[in-house]
Structure 1
Amino acid sequence: MMTLSPSSESTTHLGHYGLIAGVFDELEISDLIDNLLPKKSSHNIPHSTVIKAMCINGLGFTERRLYLFPDFFENLPTERLLGEGVLPEHLNDDVFGRTLDKIYEFGATELFNHIILQAMKHVPINPRFCHADTTNFSVYGDYDHDNDGKTINITYGHPKDKRVDLLRFTISMVTDQKGIPLFVRALDGNSSDKKALIKTIKELTQNLNLDERVYHVADSAFYTEDNVKEIGTNAFFISRVPATINEAKELLMANLILKTCSDERYSCYAVKSCYGGVEQLWGVFCSEEMKKKEEKTFDEKILKELEAAEKSLKKLSNREFACEADARMAAEQWLKENESYEFTKLDIKNRSHRLENKKGRPRKDEKVQTFYLIEAQIKHDQEKVKERRAKLGRFILATNDLELTPDQLLEYYKEQGTVERGFRFLKDKSFRVSEVYLKKESRIEALAMVMVLCLLLYSIAEWKLRTRLEEAKEAIRNQVKKKTQTPTMKWVFFLFRRVTELVIEVDGKRIKKVLNLDEETIKVLKLMGEKYEKYYV
């Protein structure tokens, strides 16, 4: 019978983790963090190594949900990735907690500001567009309140995932036109987008020495009279105008002659505005795609509006008026406020009841109080409905750069998707820290910075590989086996899924070897450069 004995060979999963370590090294983040967050002599490993480990953990991209879990490192070649002598047992809850505390103590946003300035020395990050936005993240379980008065307030807020039952915190982030994050700040779970976005833009401008022609791009939450006044004369902005502003309401419903844009899916009418006391170019755009989407739900929306209007009218019908003229005036005022409708029936009925709220029928000679009630029925004014239907798909964009053309205004605003893609990345269930289980507000604030640092590493690696593929006139296969020069880094990580480190013990010596590199992964490593290749030799 065959007996089992301990093997002198072992393997650990290297996968794509060397690519993450490589971009971390290329940006020289470790040296920067060691200077800013020096370790105490009693600690085994420096904070820079722990943060590097967190990024490898965060960009693990496996299906199992994780939250900086030490077991993650048990089957990884930690010495290869993090340095000689760094073993899985060194990466425990206490180590992660100490580093998160140190990040918070230094200032999470301030640390990221230093990192992005460091990155700009090594990568040509030249922001022309700064896309600002906010989103919120759910927090699971109980947590400890910090008592220093400076931490974010984790509370019930305005959930974008509809989970009103969960506590949450907010992240305000700015990315450049390539999707590379330039700024991050964690905020209270119920923070106001209107206030957060203007503060974010001001902080970003102070931190980075931005070119004069940089455009700050934000959605309609930014566009308030106060924000326009504050930024309007100091920096260029591009934003969507809320349809709730009276001037915008009138334009959206006006009979305008829209001209076809360079992108033929859109048409536009340009007009000057001085909203907030700042001279601006407004573009009233119509999107054919948006119009088709809105047409699908328009009839349903009209019916819901009618139901709401009938409820409002019923409330008015229960109101008692002292005279017929007052009742008729109230009915006319209601119609003025609800101009999409017309009366199909309008009667003013007089009624009476006993004084002092006595019950029963009044006696023959008893004085009674006479009052008047509105009896009305309504329907939609079909001409107005027809007008509204014709104007579906419209929206307004604004800029204080009067030299922009409407085509440029539209093109630049559409790139707002870069920051939204960044948030989708952070919320992806395969992103290892997309759901937060930490129990201290200060550590959650620090973790928010680490999350966006992961996005920074990912987006720079993706940008670099795409650039190198184009320069070398090379391509790699995509998910459907076709050649591409614009792979996602998530797909590239998948290509490395079988790569392992083999350790063999021979005569008391440990020999390490990387297995399962193929032609495609070797091509990626050569294009990325020596700082990446070293993790796979």
Structure 2
Amino acid sequence: MSAAQPVIKRLDHLGLIAAFCHEIGLPSIIDRIIPKYSDHNVSHGDAVLAMILNGLGFHSRTLHMFSDFFETKPVAKLFAKDIEAHHLTDDVLGRTLDALYEADVSALYQAIAEHVVDKLGLKTDSVHLDITSFHVDGEYAQDEDLNAIKLVKGYSRYHRPELNQVVLELICENQAGLPVYMQALSGNTNDAKAFSEVTKRHIHCLKAAQNSRYFTADAALYTEESIRSLDEQQQKFITRVPMTIKSAKEALMNLESEQLSPIGNGYSGCWVDADYGSVSQKWLLIHSE
């Protein structure tokens, strides 16, 4: 009787990724928020972990070939439970993606991020808000769902205005650069409008969770509506004042050279008091050699 042939499974870097996901309790957090009520072997948390491993496994096959990726991997080690490669079907992943959409991906991500920041002991003295975009090729059928994001033309940061795009809004903490909030938006989203929505709807949650002292963003943040909202929530902010504001132009025009104090590296500056939007604040006027 011939001896059984050994079976070789490739762990590679995926062991480190899976171990970290288990350490921060990623699958259990997802399962707690969107529990699976059927008797399937794979929970929503396990399915998300599988998608992370696949995405970071330098692999780009379609969903119906998803289980093939795990055929050569030590699945029991990666998931720490009785799951086999053939359990990871496109139906399982499709149901999980639907559940994530119904639960609000942004809210779910924020809950996970808050837990990770606390687990890693990060001290978020400030958070930084910014927007980026990703262009796409080809034709896309537009969803009739009014809540779905639209792949449309908009301001292109990649100088490809002829292509449709999607916008991603991120808030990152300052110590490790970890995103603590993210929101996918339609390709034609206006930065100032998006920033205004964040300050009204999400700052109080972030402030309670992260206890950040400063909220930082570019000039798109500086609108009367946004800075009033931040002031009402007692959130300090740092941004650039756009030169489209009349009082900002006047402050620069009236600046005398003797008012400037050296800052270093060829820069000098002067602090002035301002109350734009009925919010008491300080502007720093800067001169460069």
What range is the shorter-chain TM-score in?
0.7 to 0.9
User: 2:282 matched to which residue of 1?
Assistant: 281
1:269 aligns with 2:270: yes
8 Å CA contact retained: 1:127, 1:210: no
Distance 1:181 1:55, change over 3 A: same
Q: 1:104 aligns with which of 75, 97, 101?
A: 101
> Which of residues 5, 10, 13 in structure 2 aligns to 1:13?
10
- In structure 2, the partner of 1:188 is 186
Structure 1 residues 14, 211: CA separation in 2 closer, same or farther (over 3 Å shift)? closer
Match of 1:231 in 2: 230
Are residue 222 (structure 1) and residue 221 (structure 2) matched?
A: yes
1:220 Cα deviation after fit:
0.7
Superposition map of 1:57-68 within 5 A:
57-60=54-57, 62=58
CA distance in 2, matches of 1:175, 1:51: 22
Q: Compared with structure 1, are the counterparts of its residues 41 and 138 closer, same or farther at alpha carbon in structure 2 (3 Å cutoff)? A: same
The amino acid that maps onto 2:249 is K
- Paired residues for 1:436-515 under 5 Å: none
Specify the alignment match of 1:153 in structure 2.
Answer: 150
12, 27, 30: which one aligns with 2:27: 30
**Secondary structure of 1:12's match?**
coil
Tell me the amino acid that sits aligned with residue 247 of structure 2. Answer: E
Shift of 1:278: 1.5
How does the TM-score come out when normalised to structure 2? 0.84
- Structure 2: distance between partners of 1:89 and 1:53: 12
Partner of 1:177: 174
SS at the partner of 2:32? helix
Match of 2:136 in 1: 139
Once residues 21 and 207 of structure 1 are traced to their aligned partners in structure 2, the CA distance between those partners, rounded to angstroms, is 29
Q: What is the aligned counterpart of 2:203 among 202, 205, 215? A: 205
Change in 2 beyond 3 A, CA 1:94/1:157:
farther
Q: Identical aligned pairs, as a percentage? A: 34
- Greater Rg over alpha carbons, structure: 1
Residue 136 of structure 1 and its aligned partner are, at CA, apart by 1.6
Return the offset for 1:85.
4.0
1:96 Cα deviation (Å)?
2.3
Could you say if the C-alpha distance between residues 249 and 32 of structure 1 is closer, same or farther in structure 2, counting changes exceeding 3 Å?
same
Per the alignment, in what secondary structure is the counterpart of residue 221 of structure 1? helix
Structure 2 partner of 1:122: 119
Q: Which runs of 5+ in 2 are unaligned?
A: none
Shift of the 41–238 alpha-carbon distance from structure 1 to 2, 3 Å rule, reads same
Structure 2 CA distance for partners of 1:99 and 1:126, relative to 1, 3 Å: same
* Distance in 1 (alpha carbons) for counterparts of 2:129 and 2:214: 10
Query: In 2, distance between residues paired with 1:66 and 1:279?
Result: 55
Cα distance in 1 for partners of 2:48, 2:210 equals 31
Shift of 1:285: 2.2
Q: Indicate the SS of the match to 2:188.
A: coil
**How much does 1:78 deviate?**
2.3
Of 43, 47, 50 in structure 1, the residue corresponding to residue 44 of structure 2 is: 47
Native 8 Å contact 2:130 2:171 kept in 1:
yes
Distance 1:35 1:158 in 2: 39
1:340-359 matches, cutoff 5 A = none
Match of 1:79 in 2: 76
Distance 1:277 1:256, change over 3 A: farther
What residue identity is the alignment partner of 1:104? Y
- 2:22 corresponds to which letter in structure 1? D
Offset at residue 138 of structure 1 (A): 2.4
In 2, the alpha carbon distance for the partners of 1:196 and 1:274 equals 23
SS at match of 1:170: strand
Q: Contact 1:172–1:200 at 8 Å: present in 2 too?
A: no
How far apart, CA to CA, are the structure 2 residues paired with 1:161 and 1:217?
Answer: 23
Matched residue type, 1:285: I
Shift of 1:28: 1.3
Distance 2:109 2:209 in 1: 17
Is 1:163 matched with 2:164?
Answer: no
Name the CA shift for 1:99/1:274 in 2 (closer, same or farther; >3 Å). same
Letter in 2 for 1:157: G
CA positional deviation for 1:228:
2.2
1:193 is displaced (CA, Å) by 0.8
Query: How much does 1:8 deviate?
Result: 2.3
Shift of residue 51 of structure 1? 0.6
Q: Please state how far the C-alpha of 1:120 moved relative to its aligned partner.
A: 4.3
Please give the secondary structure, in 1, of the residue aligned with 2:202.
helix
CA distance, structure 1, for counterparts of residue 197 and residue 244 of structure 2: 23
- TM-score, structure 1 length as denominator? 0.48
